[in-house]
């Protein structure tokens, strides 16, 4: 698990670097990414792949929103690199590869799981950031 946490950190930091996240925010993006990957691995056996990705994406979005407010950065800076290990980019690629190799059954199976996983990631992000918006609006109104 420690090795996997390290891999998640390396992956998220490397992608943060590719997307040119401001240098001082790189380690934070890496930590959120590592956290998401570990949560996914822990929940995968209990809730299945889609459930695990959903919970991990929700937590990643939540911590990205917290960090964005603390460090006065746009949410994207933390969110995009940190969800990269959860996004089924590899599944999408395998789907296309199976289609091109005439393996239609395999392609359909991985296509459906790609759509479900991408939907789970998006749903997790939307739920967490909507909750944050409701919360900050409520605070604003009270003042």
Partner 1 sequence: MERLVGLVLLAGELLLTCGAEMYRVEETIERMGLAAGFVQVEGFATPTGLFISLHAPNGRVYTRVRRIRQTYNKLSTIAEVNSISRAFSDGSMTIQEVHDELERLSKETAPESLGRQLIGGAGAMAFTMIFGGNWFEGIIAGMTGAMVLVLVSWLGRHPVPKVLQAATGGIFAAAVIMGLSRILAIHPDLTTLGAVMVMTPGVAMTTAIRDLLSGELLSGLSRSAEALSVTVAIATGVAIVLTLGGR
Catalog residues that contact partner 1 under the rule CB under 8 A.
Answer: 4, 7-8, 10-11, 13-22, 25, 37, 72-74, 76-77, 80, 83-85, 87-90, 92-97, 99-101, 118-119, 121-123, 125-126
CB of 84 to partner 1, least distance (A): 5
Q: Which is nearer to partner 1, 25 or 113 (CB)?
A: 25
DSSP class of residue 45?
H
Q: Which is nearer to partner 1, 14 or 109 (CB)?
A: 14
- From 44, 48, 40, select the one nearest 4 (Cα to Cα): 40
CB of 55 to partner 1, least distance (A): 16
Distance of alpha carbon 35 from alpha carbon 32, whole angstroms? 5
7 touches 81 (CB < 8 A): no
60 touches 86 (CB < 8 A): yes
Distance of alpha carbon 79 from alpha carbon 18, whole angstroms? 14
CB of 83 to partner 1, least distance (A): 6
CB of 96 to partner 1, least distance (A): 3
Q: Which is nearer to partner 1, 15 or 63 (CB)?
A: 15
């Amino acid at each position: 698990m420690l090795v996997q946490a390290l891999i998640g950190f390396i992956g998220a930091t490397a992608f943060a670097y590719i997307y040119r996240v401001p240098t001082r925010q790189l380690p934070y993006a890496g930590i959120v990414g590592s956290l998401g990957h570990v949560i996914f691995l822990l929940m995968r056996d209990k809730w299945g792949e889609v459930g695990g990705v959903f919970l991990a994406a929700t937590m990643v979005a939540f911590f990205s929103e917290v960090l964005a407010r603390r460090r006065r950065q746009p949410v994207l800076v933390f969110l995009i690199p940190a969800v990269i290990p959860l996004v089924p980019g590899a599944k999408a690629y395998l789907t296309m590869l199976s289609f091109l190799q005439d393996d239609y059954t395999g392609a359909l199976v991985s296509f459906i799981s790609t759509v479900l996983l991408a939907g789970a990631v998006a749903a997790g992000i939307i739920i967490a950031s909507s909750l944050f918006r409701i919360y900050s609006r409520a605070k604003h109104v009270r003042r």
